Structure 1
Amino acid sequence: MDKILDILQKYYGYKTFRKGQEKIINSILSGEDVLAIMPTGGGKSLCYQIPALCMEGITIVISPLISLMKDQVDTLNTMGIEASYINSSLSVSDYNNVLKNILDNKCKILYIAPERLENIDFLNIIKNKNISQIAIDEAHCISQWGHDFRVSYKKIPYFINNLDNRPIVTAFTATASEEVRQDILKMLGLVNPKVYITGFDRENLYINIVKSSAKNKYLLEYIENHKSENGIIYAATRKEVEKIYEGLSKRDIGVLKYHGGMSNDDRKTSQDKFINDEVNIMVATNAFGMGIDKPDIRWVIHYNMPQSIENYYQEIGRAGRDGQKSECILLFSPVDVHTQKYLIDISTENISRKSIQYDKLQQMVDLVYSNSCYRKSILEYFGETVDVDCDNCSNCLSEGVIIDKTLDAQKVISCVFRMKRNFGIIMIVDVLRGSKNKKVLEAGFDKLSTYGIMKDYSNEELKNFINTLISHGFLDIRENPGARGSFPTVYLNKQSMRVLKGEIKVEFKEVKVAKESREKNELFEILSDLRRSIAANEKIAPYMVFGDATLISMANSYPTTEDEMLNISGVGQIKYQKYGRQFISVIEKYMSDKNIDKESINKNEAKSSKEDEQFFEVDTDKDLYELLKKLRAKFARKENLPYHMVMPKNTLKEISGRYPLELDQLNDISGMGPKKIEKYGQEIIDTVKQYVEQNDIKVEWKDKKRKKLILDGESRKPKEIALDLLNQGIDMRKVGNDLEVSVSTILGYVYDYIKEKNELHFKFDPTIYYCEDEKELIEESIKKHGEEKIREIKQSLPDYIKYESIRAVIIEKYIS
């Protein structure tokens, strides 16, 4: 363990491991095969690199990504680690040099593409070497269920099996459903593997899905607000990439492009400029980004909806790899669905593969239309049990103003109804705006009562409004393959008729584009310039010198000694020896020029960091909390709902400790969305106002925004609290009541805990949660669907079988 921590500090500059890394590394060093599912940016590469440095012999890393190989090898070489790569980008002389280094034992870690496993020259040299580990990156590529299936990955098991001495085999991926995990284990032939799922959550990423067609306007406004930040714009097609690139270039915005239609040299030039901070915006298809280990990407915008949740989560995972707050925005319009269907149709002739891709596309569409927490939906897709909303996505945060558009929606729906036949959006817009278009007049649409009733809208505004109605499910749009020109047409649905009859309202949130979140710091900019200069001299990417988070720490704490510098996360012994004195000199000069007293500055920084950090601390006012509980009980009785479904108790506690006195302030309270504010808001505000006046409390309201709520000093998640209480011997139903979650949810926590090979420290008898006749039915369904698919299992069973019974049967096999 000392050796591992020494390597971590010396080469990587970290004192502690991230979640799951230590267990994975220990398993590998114990000689066990490993499958690790870790989120993008979760530190997968470190999990096989540190064992590689600890073990005798060479580690071979198999990756499909040329860009990743160069990136990783450059980073390792910068840290003083002997690493090389072999792929199609190498010249003959460079390739021969790598082979010579392997022969001379001057290569500790070797990156190769899977296609290289068939090369005779390579096989002849490598078969006589001591291979300690074969690490397979992007392991999901071996599965047809995977979102990025590669035929070349099927060669890997043959290569491993033909080696004289089988090395440790490790497999890593960021996005893998249960089917994909089972495929990886089976097809790679992992021997008694340890499976680690460290969790998919990236808490620093704000997820924002904008259902609107005014994409161009949003994009321009966003870029204007984020000029100094690094960002990626993803588009579905090469044509769309070119269109966005040209539009931004014409406005003198520095931008790069990357897609499969460009030459290798042009793509490489674009990628290098982006990595080296020469230009900070990249517009690209999904061909760009896999393996790009640039840690300081502050935002990712999807101009079109991706084809699957796996694709989406992998692509947004390129933001904020340094752990700093970053934003992920999906600009959705219904046309995106048709584009992706077309791309699926032309991508494969394999019916089975096509069916899988269609299913994944529908799951992505379901996510977009979901009204619940986006992060929660994504994590549940990957099999994680989540019971609390994230308060860091656009569904959780009620940002923007709710506008009633019911009357305008009725005008549009009425027009579609009166036109009798189904037409495209352009024709509907022409009728509503009173166009003298020949086709409009020939069809007699100028005689309709809806002709010209929306002249106050511009052509583009009305088109955007109709697309927004479609996005929210108030109208349908369908392809018409048999129609001339094969254009999509607009249809009415059940929701349309409910709007027309006034049964439901049409309310849209007016989207506000966020401002750049990073505060400017003069010393940070000076240190960035030094980093850029060093990187240019060494011909490496700036972040390979130090990441943004490391520079921010330097700029805030002013390290001027070796010990202080080594105390900065990201500064290891090797990097200090190479760069430390240069950065200290710059910091000392800055402090001298600005007449800065470090001791007083550090005191102020410590104080302000508590206020301005990512945390927002609230203490419950117990008396007000009791009043709010009674109010909640009244709401629950009126609607015949369980208390927690009206409002969780933590929402009541937060209200009691923050004293909101205006309806708008409830938007900043966790668990209070627009509908709840509309239903309960005024009575809550009245109760708080009365309490504040009676107790003569002076209220100073502060916005929480995206900071993490710490309630009564408790920063743990419900899962962690529940397991702690259970370990203390508290009854499971009491724990559920205290946390206001179901027994099924608590059992889900227990399942996650024991599946990670942890031991239970409390007595647990699963048989009390099911009858024997239920057990047989449940076990049959588990065999059919797999234990991760709780929802499918429940749907296949009789209604009387509860979720808690299913979870208990699953848990029993782990503890029996």
Structure 2
Amino acid sequence: MNINDAKKALKTYFGYSNFREGQEQIINSILCQRDSLGIMPTGAGKSVCFQIPAMLFSGITIVISPLISLMKDQVNGLNELGINAAYLNSSLTNSQYLSTIENIKNYKYKIIYVAPERLLTDNFINCCLELNISMITIDEAHCISQWGQDFRPSYTKIIDFINNLKIKPIISAFTATATQKVKEDITSILNLKNPFVLVTGFDRKNLFFEVQKPKDKYSYLLNFLKKTNDENGIVYCSTRETVEKVCEYLKVHKYKATRYHAGLADKERKQNQDDFLYDKSKIMVATNAFGMGIDKSNVSFVVHFNMPKDIESYYQEAGRAGRDGSEAHCIILYSGQDLVINSFMIEHSKDRIYEDNEIEKRLKSKDRERLKIMNMYCQTKECLRKFILNYFGEQANDNCQKCINCITKYENVDITLAAQKIISCILRVKENYGTKMIINILRGSKNKRILTLGFDKLSTYGIMNESEIYIRDIINYLIINNYLRVTNDEYPLIKLENKARKFIKDKELLTMKICAEKDIEEIGKTKSSSKSKDVLDIEIDDNLLIKLKALRLEIASEHGVPAFVVFADSALKDMCNKKPVNETQFLEVSGVGQVKLERYGKLFLDVIKSYLNKE
């Protein structure tokens, strides 16, 4: 059993001739019986890294996963590939659960997905004590750390389950996003022994990143969707109320949209999720309750109707686009209210459990710091891809040409005097107030609080007649460039950094980029919202593609699985490119292995040959 066996399994079952970046190294480490931690971005193929070793090991592999939807998708996919797999979670009836336990005891499955809450139940532990368990895999491993963005207390019990086993199996853990602190927690809490740690590049080259600040988010979203050619996408909203409004708005405008949030009944959530996975609904409008582990490969865009709470969440959610390697679009529709909503949710969230007041204080402070960085991302005029990669400790070029900032024409404007006025105002109020108050003083607001505090008597009162948006942009620029900082308090204050004091003293020139084109919203519509090119950079025969998709949908409906489980869009597009007419040629299509050749080859070859004969 070696890496050559793994390559053979990759082609036979998954239909690929080569591993993606990092897959071969971590699979080889696991096959060498070494604990392993893989930190790989969404869409990088983490599941293959544990599924292939699981097939090669003599015993069973247990995969601990946080979400029912993830288990169902991956088990469906594995069974379609001819790999026996099952899951244990709350969606099973008692008789189904007991039947699955019995099948596990009889070694009918190679891979078993288990919810963390089920690990320490008596019948499951008793079952596992009699099994030959080769490996335990922890998916979404960042959930084990209180410093991660999706901490789940049930994950901390995983080590208790492992310690109950007579023989410790190989431990492998995977996550898409992990800071240094989270990585240390995963290694420590899971007690990984001299682990092989792989951090692949975080860059998703097929994703286009964009931030817009439209006056009307609803109209902007509609204009964006008109250019997506009925493709599949996700629209994330920060609240349930916004989900309801956006979904209804899209339905009124004849889009096949559905919704998902924690306020819906379980039955409706499941039905709506299935409608999206099975392409009955093209657009999923959801809170962040939807998505972790959703393995839908043909998502062409992810729109954040509101700014998310941190870069980790954003990159994970945006990464659900383009999982099959095709070009995809990730856009945030930003407004200042998004910052207010997220700040409120940090302070009043009922979803997070804290061990004590001190930990609560520290974690909330960390959440506010992450939100501040997310806000900076939405304000920067520099390369968005570079901002994300730098956040995760990776270096990147200044000009990716795959984000809105890199394709927008900017001109440098002198903001020296404006910056001096802003800094002077912050000094006059002794650095004791936030952005809104500073802007109101500078613009000469007559609101009651300013008059009561006597700020209308300050020398900086009313000295700027520019718009609130323009002044806020300059303040954000000064924060991003370390002239100012915002505290992590519940009510953030603006403080001066040494760089600001030096700027005032030395009277240096300061310039800021502003868009040189007339309407920044039009840039997003015309330059970046056009239909994506295929990842293979070839002309696709659309008529043949329609016929292949129709056949795929027919097969998927018959088997009761999502269409992408039969073949990913990228495989169908490669069929359109290569136009195979025999089994040997069909095996050369990316995503076609021996199992799928035997199962579907004749059906797809017949459609292709019939189409070619009519040309």
TM range (shorter): 0.7 to 0.9
Please state how far the C-alpha of 1:372 moved relative to its aligned partner: 2.8
The Cα of 1:402 is off from its aligned counterpart by 6.6
- What SS does the aligned partner of 1:327 have? strand
SS class of match (2:210): strand
Give 1:278 deviation, angstroms. Answer: 1.0
Look up the equivalent residue of 1:398 and give its one-letter code. I
Task: Report if the CA contact (8 A) 1:211-1:468 is conserved.
Answer: no
- 1:552 and 2:550 aligned: no
- Structure 1 residue 532 corresponds to structure 2 residue 548: no
Give the aligned partner of residue 256 of structure 1. 258
Q: Distance in 2 between the 1:212 and 1:205 partners?
A: 21
Cα pair 1:212 1:468 within 8 Å, conserved: no
| In structure 2, distance between residues paired with 1:339 and 1:179 | 27
Counterpart in the other structure of 1:367: 377
User: 2:396 matched to which residue of 1?
Assistant: 386
Give the equivalent residue in structure 2 for 1:54: 56
Structure 1 residues 121 and 214: CA distance shift in structure 2, 3 A: same
Shift of 1:390: 2.5
Shift of 1:471: 6.5
| Alignment CA distance shift 1:21-1:528 (3 Å) | same
CA distance in 2, matches of 1:518, 1:268: 32
Q: How many residues align?
A: 568
Contact 1:174 1:314 in 2 (8 A): yes
The aligned residue for residue 761 of structure 1 is none
Q: Report SS of the residue matched to 1:385.
A: coil
CA displacement 1:281-304 (0-9 Å, x = unmatched)? 111111111111111111111111
8 A Cα contact 1:405 1:506, kept in partner: no
Whole-angstrom distance in 2 between the partners of 1:375 and 1:206: 9
Partner SS for 1:313: helix
Equivalence for 2:603: 582
Work out whether residues 334 and 467 of structure 1, in 8 Å CA contact, stay in contact via their aligned partners in 2. Answer: no
Correspondence 1:114 to 2:151:
no
Counterpart of 1:304? 306
Q: Distance in 2 between matches of 1:505 and 1:294?
A: 41
For the 8 Å contact 1:175–1:314, the answer to whether it is kept is: yes
- The AA in structure 1 aligned to 2:408 is E
Offset of 1:507 from its aligned partner?
Answer: 3.1
Distance 1:505 1:116, change over 3 A: closer
Matched, 1:325 2:335: no
Instruction: Give distance in 2, aligned partners of 1:469 and 1:213.
Output: 19
1:728 aligned partner: none
Matches within 5 A, 1:288-437: 288-347=290-349, 348=352, 350-387=360-397, 389-395=399-405, 397-399=406-408
Cα shift readout 1:138-172 (whole Å, capped 9, x = no counterpart): 11111111111111111011111111011001111
**Pair 1:34–1:401, CA change in 2 (3 A):** closer
Match of 1:508 in 2: 515
Distance 1:222 1:63 in 2: 34
Question: 1:246 Cα shift?
Answer: 1.9
Match in the other structure for 1:573:
594
The residue correspondences of 1:632-651 to structure 2 (distance < 5 A) are: none
**Greater radius of gyration (CA):** 1
Label 1:189 to 1:383 Cα distance change in 2 as closer, same or farther (>3 A): same
Contact 2:41 2:177 in 1 (8 A): yes
Amino acid in structure 2 at the alignment position of 1:363:
I
1:249 positional shift: 1.9
Name the SS of the counterpart of 2:400 in structure 1: coil
The residue type equivalent to 2:514 in the other structure is E
Which structure 1 residue ranges, 5 or more long, are not aligned? 433-449, 455-461, 596-816
CA shift in 2, pair 1:518/1:405, >3 Å: farther
The alpha carbon displacement at 1:506 in A equals: 7.7
Structure 1 residue 117 displacement after superposition: 1.3
Aligned to 1:773: none
Q: SS at 1:118's partner residue?
A: coil
Corresponding residue SS for 1:52: helix
Taking the TM superposition and a 5 Å limit, the aligned residue runs for 1:462-501 are: none
Give the partner amino acid of 2:387: S
The 8 Å contact of residues 276 and 540 in structure 1, kept in 2 or not, is answered as: yes
- Structure with the bigger RCO (C-alpha within 8 Å, sep 6+) is 2
1:374-433 CA distance string (max 9 Å, x none): 2222222222233554332222x2336879999xx99xx9xx99xx999989x99xx99x
Q: CA deviation at 1:220?
A: 1.3
Name the SS of the counterpart of 2:404 in structure 1: coil
By how many angstroms is 1:371 displaced? 3.4
1:505 deviates by 7.2
| C-alpha contact (below 8 Å) 2:412/2:512 kept by paired residues | no
TM-score (norm 1): 0.63
Specify every segment of 5 or more residues in structure 2 that has no aligned partner in the other structure, as ranges.
445-461, 495-499, 535-539
The one-letter code of the counterpart of 2:160 is Y
CA displacement, residues 627-682 of structure 1 (integer Å, 9 cap, x when unaligned): xxxxxxxxxxxxxxxxxxxxxxxxxxxxxxxxxxxxxxxxxxxxxxxxxxxxxxxx
TM-score by length of 2: 0.82
**In the alignment, what sits opposite 1:37?**
39
Match of 1:92 in 2: 94
Cα RMSD of the aligned pairs, angstroms, is: 4.1
Q: Distance in 1 between matches of 2:251 and 2:57?
A: 50
Matching residue's letter, 1:517? S
Task: Give secondary structure in 1 for the equivalent of 2:233.
Answer: strand
